[in-house]
Chains A and B, each alone.
Chain A
Amino acid sequence: MIPNSAMPDGAAHLRARALADLMVLDTPEEQAFDDLVFVAAKACAVPIALITLLDTERQWFKARFGLDVCETEIGQSVCQIDIDRADLLEIVDLTIDGRTKANPLVTGDRHFRAYAGAPLVLRSGIVVGRLCVIDTIPRPQGLSEMEKGMLQALARLASENLELRRIAHSSERMTAFQTALVEIGETIRDSRDTEQMAFATAGIVGRVLVADRAGFASVDEAVEAIEVETDWTAPGTVSIAGRHRLDAYGDLREPLAHGEPLVVWDALADQRTLHNLQSAMRIGVRSLVNMPVRENGKTVAVFFVHSAHPRSWPAEEIAFLRSAADRLEAGVAQQRVEQQQRIVNGEIAHRLKNTLTMVQAIANQTLRQVTDREAVYAFERRLIALSAAHDALLDLNWTQADLRTVASTVLDTVGFADRFTMNGPPVALRPQAALSFSLIVHELLTNACKYGALSNDDGGVSLTWRIVESGVDDDLLVIRWHESGGPPVTAPARRGFGSKLISIGLVGTGGVSLRYERSGFSADLQASLRSLARA
């Protein structure tokens, strides 16, 4: 045989990769292929017909008629002869041909005598095997032109089927990837911190790709080392959390630095990793993808997926990994911004508190001579109620505060929590309404302590609120303060600053009604949700 070898290794390499891409090796029998070999055998009037796929170390039969083994080692393969010529191969007497006369399938019990095989050519032009027919008696005249034509047509059908099968499979994969991406989005949204985010995403990616390890690592400035915080691993696979020098694993830095995915489908066959196999083997990596994550044109992190076996990483897997890595990076960046915002908000709140404390100090010094100490204390407590409302707002990043939280924090500054009940749905108050509400609650509490239900030993206050649908789109928030069990109530003769503060209402436009019923004081506060949203 004259080896057809512009690049024999290269062609074998491409074939093995294309085969891996087809995801057909070692799959169960399928009717479509079985039918093809049956028709081939009958069309050529032979006892044996096979769809043979040529892997690097074996030939494997996707379909077989008249043969009881599903693979042989590659050395015994007749199909591989002249495979890269992509042409029909016919050997009319295998016992005479120099390339086959010593083949155990010919010399042994199998008694192969005549062979004809048409190539399985993919759309890419790569030949992955043959559809062949075999006779156990020599066929000196060979196949007729009609038989050859049919064999070649059936081989084309088989190739087409391999591709269609692959497309059907990959569309299933795409659906799985889409579902995984949705899951990743939800996970990222629900994660408390970036580490949890990265770990959960790695888990989803690892499982859907059936990988052995997946994780997110930061990359240092010079793209020399990566730092893995946590990684997801399949059972039995070790974690590689920690710092790793990229050079220790081969020539991996270049694509990473340029923001290109690094795909090694077999570390044993890849020039970039071939000379550093020990490191890869130590952590059980035979195949990997490093998907760079970029920020301002620089690689700042990498999402990696490892497999203990060679694998082809088809384009849709790479695309999926890119999407997953992008989502994770966006989530991490978002969280970083929020963290920064929380720090800034905390700092602002701290300064505000210190300023309020200084106001308190100045007021105390300024009002030292004032004999009405009650007025001084009232001032101080209003200041503190205002400060408490700021705490409630800070909890939600100064965009809003929950009504119940505002009431509770004010209540904390006054006391009497044990004689106070609250009931109502969650209601978000904008900052202005939250501050007003805190001052109103404070005044109502102060009055209750002085004259109302909290001035004796057994009165109580209930605070309830609800949203009332008004038919049009402008619903009302209705808050009711109701005292009971206190001393008999009389309306005050004079309106102090406290009552004025209360009557301003939630959004500065009133909506307050006070009722001095004998059994207990009550107050209704109303505001439309629309005006609250603007406040």
Chain B
Amino acid sequence: MIKPVVLVVEDEPLVRLFATDMIEEAGFEVLQAPNATEAMATMEDRRDIRVVFTDVDMPGGINGIRLAACIRARWPAVQIIVTSGRPWPPNEPIPENVPFFPKPYRQDRVLDAVKRMAA
């Protein structure tokens, strides 16, 4: 059986590993990217990605919110989940159908969202 593919975008290796394990154990194939640029490159390569789970604050100039907007524009079918140690920036509109989980997040809630959105 083919597992649905989830891309985890997170600059902190330990947290990325944690998220990857969590989602893999829930029965998904997980790809990883440490920043938005690599995430976009991975998106180009792999057209089978269903869900992107991204952090907001990342080095390299493009944050998770802009990454979400780029993905939304180029691959409208891909689902996006955002997490951050900060509150959602007050002057940024929250895009439709993009769940937001403040860090630290409850694993069961993130997994529920991943499962629902990959379905």
Our verdict on whether A and B bind, yes or no, reads: yes
Residues of chain A touching chain B, judged by Cβ–Cβ distance below 8 Å, are 346, 349-354, 356-362, 364-365, 377, 380-381, 383-384, 387, 391, 413
- Is B14 interfacial (CB 8 A cutoff)? yes
A364 contacts which chain B residues (CB < 8 A)?
A: 18, 21-22
Scan B34-49; emit 1 where CB is below 8 A from any A CB, else 0.
Answer: 0000000000000000
- Is B27 interfacial (CB 8 A cutoff)? no
27 A-B pairs whose Cβ atoms sit less than 8 Å apart in the complex: A346-B86, A350-B86, A351-B85, A352-B85, A353-B103, A353-B104, A354-B12, A356-B103, A356-B104, A357-B85, A357-B105, A358-B14, A358-B15, A359-B104, A360-B18, A361-B17, A361-B18, A364-B21, A365-B17, A377-B108, A380-B104, A380-B107, A383-B104, A384-B105, A387-B102, A387-B104, A391-B87
Among A361, A362, A365, A380, find the residue whose CB has the most chain B CB atoms closer than 10 A.
A361
Among B57, B87, B102, find the residue whose CB has the most chain A CB atoms closer than 10 A.
B102
- Is B106 interfacial (CB 8 A cutoff)? yes
Closest Cβ–Cβ distance, residue A500 to chain B (whole Å): 23
B105 contacts which chain A residues (CB < 8 A)?
A: 357, 384
Closest Cβ–Cβ distance, residue B34 to chain A (whole Å): 15
Which of the residues B12, B21, B86, B87 comes within 8 Å of A358, measured between beta carbons? B12
A350 contacts which chain B residues (CB < 8 A)?
A: 57, 85-86
Cα distance, A362 to B57, chains bound together (Å): 20
Closest Cβ–Cβ distance, residue A410 to chain B (whole Å): 12
Main secondary structure of the interface of A (DSSP, over half): helix
Residue of A nearest to B83 (CB): A357
Residue of B nearest to A354 (CB): B85
A349 contacts which chain B residues (CB < 8 A)?
A: 85-86
A351 contacts which chain B residues (CB < 8 A)?
A: 85
Cα distance, A413 to B15, chains bound together (Å): 20
Closest Cβ–Cβ distance, residue A32 to chain B (whole Å): 63
B57 contacts which chain A residues (CB < 8 A)?
A: 350
Cα distance, A365 to B18, chains bound together (Å): 7
Contacts A350-B57, A365-B17: A360 and B104 contacting too (C-beta < 8 A)? yes
Cα distance, A346 to B21, chains bound together (Å): 29
Closest Cβ–Cβ distance, residue B95 to chain A (whole Å): 21
Cα distance, A35 to B9, chains bound together (Å): 92
Cα distance, A524 to B77, chains bound together (Å): 52
B106 and A413 contact, CB distance less than 8 A = yes
Residue of A nearest to B56 (CB): A350
Cα distance, A313 to B73, chains bound together (Å): 61
Among B14, B57, B104, B106, find the residue whose CB has the most chain A CB atoms closer than 10 A.
B104
Contacts A346-B86, A364-B21, A364-B22: A353 and B14 contacting too (C-beta < 8 A)? no
B104 and A362 contact, CB distance less than 8 A = no
B102 contacts which chain A residues (CB < 8 A)?
A: 353, 387, 391
Closest Cβ–Cβ distance, residue B49 to chain A (whole Å): 23
Closest Cβ–Cβ distance, residue B119 to chain A (whole Å): 22
B15 contacts which chain A residues (CB < 8 A)?
A: 354, 357-358, 361
Residue of A nearest to B19 (CB): A361
A377 contacts which chain B residues (CB < 8 A)?
A: 107-108
A361 contacts which chain B residues (CB < 8 A)?
A: 14-15, 17-18
Cα distance, A377 to B105, chains bound together (Å): 12
A384 contacts which chain B residues (CB < 8 A)?
A: 104-106
Which of the residues A346, A356, A362, A383 comes within 8 Å of B14, measured between beta carbons? A362
B12 contacts which chain A residues (CB < 8 A)?
A: 354, 357-358
Cα distance, A380 to B18, chains bound together (Å): 13
A381 contacts which chain B residues (CB < 8 A)?
A: 106
Cα distance, A352 to B103, chains bound together (Å): 10
A346 contacts which chain B residues (CB < 8 A)?
A: 86
Contacts A346-B86, A350-B85: A357 and B103 contacting too (C-beta < 8 A)? yes
Known pairs A349-B85, A377-B108, A384-B106. 10 more at Cβ < 8 A?
A346-B86, A350-B57, A350-B85, A350-B86, A356-B103, A357-B104, A358-B14, A360-B104, A364-B18, A387-B103
A354 and B17 contact, CB distance less than 8 A = no
Cα distance, A380 to B104, chains bound together (Å): 9
A380 and B106 contact, CB distance less than 8 A = yes
User: Which residues 1-60 of B have a CB within 8 angstroms of A?
Assistant: 12, 14-15, 17-18, 21-22, 57
Residue of B nearest to A388 (CB): B102
Closest Cβ–Cβ distance, residue B88 to chain A (whole Å): 13
Cα distance, A354 to B106, chains bound together (Å): 14
Closest Cβ–Cβ distance, residue A17 to chain B (whole Å): 52
Cα distance, A365 to B17, chains bound together (Å): 9
| Complex A-B, nearest 4 residue pairs according to Cβ-Cβ distance, in ascending order | A353-B85, A361-B18, A357-B103, A357-B104
Closest Cβ–Cβ distance, residue B23 to chain A (whole Å): 12
Scan B102-119; emit 1 where CB is below 8 A from any A CB, else 0.
Answer: 111111100000000000
Closest Cβ–Cβ distance, residue B91 to chain A (whole Å): 14
B86 contacts which chain A residues (CB < 8 A)?
A: 346, 349-350, 353
Residue of B nearest to A363 (CB): B18
A365 contacts which chain B residues (CB < 8 A)?
A: 17-18, 21
Closest Cβ–Cβ distance, residue B86 to chain A (whole Å): 5
